[in-house]
């Protein structure tokens, strides 16, 4: 996982000391009579249909990555000999299993090098479920938890899928990204290479980054979303009480998929943030210590992996894969909001623009705002937008509230009979 550069949330700090904080949340409309609504996948009964992924096999892939790093200057940084050898190892195993495998050269990467894409036969080509992990590491060490664990977990799941060769209701695509540690560059290059039709084929992207942390937690990207339901269902069946992956927001390869309007989720076990006492009580481990004490360090070797956390992650991937691609499950009626940039300062009398992107499938969306104190007006024109086609702009005058903290909640209400996929551009907030 790349290092943190931005904080969560969107705030405009007026130089008089006032802060305006915007929080975006989805609201699902009540369905009309007779409307089918997607529900979280039940567990544990459906879990039995998915294979048990051998954690020993996943660890064997990690041993290979560690050996590759040891033979190539101690790391697997994008563009290095260690990265190329890692890609060759994964590619060779996939080709032998029968995958259609391609390499995509990332010319805009900090260290130009290749993404690896593998697709399994079966399932309609316009109904794709995608699983990804970054294959590169930092130059400081072998990068075994970050992110050999995600890469090895997907590789073993891909090999098991090929060996069992079930009847597919969705097309399955795996990806191993380059240059994540330099700014999510490999996945950004891939997403930017897709046209609108190709993006629309991808019904869900699932990202796996650092899924074996030694003092790990159980975190899910967008944990309450429909897209996350199969991942959450498996961990719920183990009594793990997973939490939102707050630490990883905007810091891994799901980011540009979400920005492109593709529903996303994924697993993580934590990086340099510290485990809380409440988390230690329910998950075990040590409170007030980092989830991964070797994050971006030379000690990120095979010794820096929890077999228990890794096993639960690998089996959860299998459960989600089987539910989504063999059971006919599809992320539906899903809705999320991302703000870019996440923070910015603006002088009194000036204005600034931020972009609010949503993920999901197409539908009509009503716009509203709540939480503004007396004297602050928020307007929408139009008051509703059509996914991928509508536009609305609002200007908020906050000059009268210098020195105060004002929270505005912008709400998109989805049409429950459809699926959400749209981008709301040019949201203007003005202090005067």
Task: Enumerate the β-bridge partners of residue 408.
Answer: 22
Residue of 206, 172, 245, 235 lying closest to 40 (CA atoms): 235
Residue 339 three-state SS: strand
Q: What is the pLDDT of residue 403?
A: 74
Q: What is the pLDDT of residue 333?
A: 44
pLDDT digits (tens, 9 = 90+) for 168-225: 999 999 999 999 999 999 999 999 999 999 999 999 999 999 999 999 999 999 999 9
Strands (E) across 157-284 are located at 171-177, 202-208, 219-220, 243-244, 264-268
Q: What is the pLDDT of residue 402?
A: 75
CA distance 367 to 32: 20
Residue 341 has phi, psi (to 5 degrees) of -75, 165
Residues of the chain with pLDDT under 50: 5-48, 330-331, 333-336, 359, 361, 363-364, 388-392, 414-427, 431-432
CA distances from 232 to 42, 115, 182 (A): 10, 28, 30
Provide the token pair at 179: 């240059």
For tokens 């000036």, what's the residue? 350
Domain architecture of the chain: domains with CATH: 10-37+333-430 (no CATH), 45-325 (3.40.630.10)
Q: At what angle do helices 81-97 and 55-70 cross, to 10 degrees?
A: 140
Active-site amino acid positions:
180
Q: What is the pLDDT of residue 122?
A: 92
Q: What is the pLDDT of residue 44?
A: 37
Q: What is the pLDDT of residue 404?
A: 78
């Amino acid at each position: 996982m790349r290092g943190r550069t931005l904080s969560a949330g969107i705030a405009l700090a007026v130089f008089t000391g006032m802060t305006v904080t915007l929080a975006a949340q989805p609201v699902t409309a009540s369905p009309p009579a007779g409307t089918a609504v997607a529900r979280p996948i039940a567990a544990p009964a459906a879990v039995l249909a998915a294979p048990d992924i051998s954690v020993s096999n996943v660890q064997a892939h990690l041993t290979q990555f560690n050996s590759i790093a040891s033979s190539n200057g101690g790391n697997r940084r994008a563009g290095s000999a260690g990265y190329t050898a890692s890609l060759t190892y994964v590619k060779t195993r996939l080709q032998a299993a029968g995958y259609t495998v391609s390499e995509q050269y990332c010319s805009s990467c900090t260290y130009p090098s290749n993404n690896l894409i593998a697709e399994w036969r079966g399932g309609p080509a316009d109904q794709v479920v995608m699983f990804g992990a970054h294959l590169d590491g930092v130059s400081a060490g072998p990068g075994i938890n970050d992110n050999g664990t995600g890469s090895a977990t997907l590789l073993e799941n891909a090999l098991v899928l090929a060996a069992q060769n079930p009847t597919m209701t969705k097309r399955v695509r795996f990806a191993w990204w380059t240059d994540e540690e330099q700014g999510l560059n490999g996945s950004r290059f891939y997403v930017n290479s897709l046209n609108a039709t190709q993006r629309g084929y991808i019904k869900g992207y699932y990202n796996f980054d650092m899924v074996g942390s030694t003092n790990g937690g159980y975190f899910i990207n967008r944990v309450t979303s429909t897209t996350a339901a199969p991942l959450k269902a498996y961990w719920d069946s183990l009594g793990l009480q997973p939490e939102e992956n707050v630490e990883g927001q905007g810091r891994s390869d799901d980011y540009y998929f979400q920005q492109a309007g593709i529903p996303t989720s994924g697993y993580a076990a934590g990086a340099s943030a510290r485990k809380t006492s409440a988390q230690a009580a329910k998950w075990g481990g040590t409170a007030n210590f980092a989830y991964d004490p070797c994050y971006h360090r030379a000690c990120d070797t095979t010794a820096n992996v929890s077999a228990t956390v890794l096993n639960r992650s690998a089996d959860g991937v299998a459960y989600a894969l089987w539910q989504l691609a063999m059971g006919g499950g599809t992320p539906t009626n899903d809705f999320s909001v991302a703000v870019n940039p996440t923070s910015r300062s603006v002088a009194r009398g000036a204005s600034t623009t931020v972009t609010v992107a949503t993920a999901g499938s197409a539908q009509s969306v009503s716009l509203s705002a709540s939480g503004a104190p007396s004297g602050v007006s928020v307007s929408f024109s139009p008051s509703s937008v059509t996914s991928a086609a509508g536009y609305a702009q609002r200007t908020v005058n906050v000059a009268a509230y210098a020195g105060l903290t004002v929270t505005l909640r912008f709400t998109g209400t989805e049409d429950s009979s459809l699926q959400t996929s749209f981008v709301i551009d040019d949201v203007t907030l003005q202090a005067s």
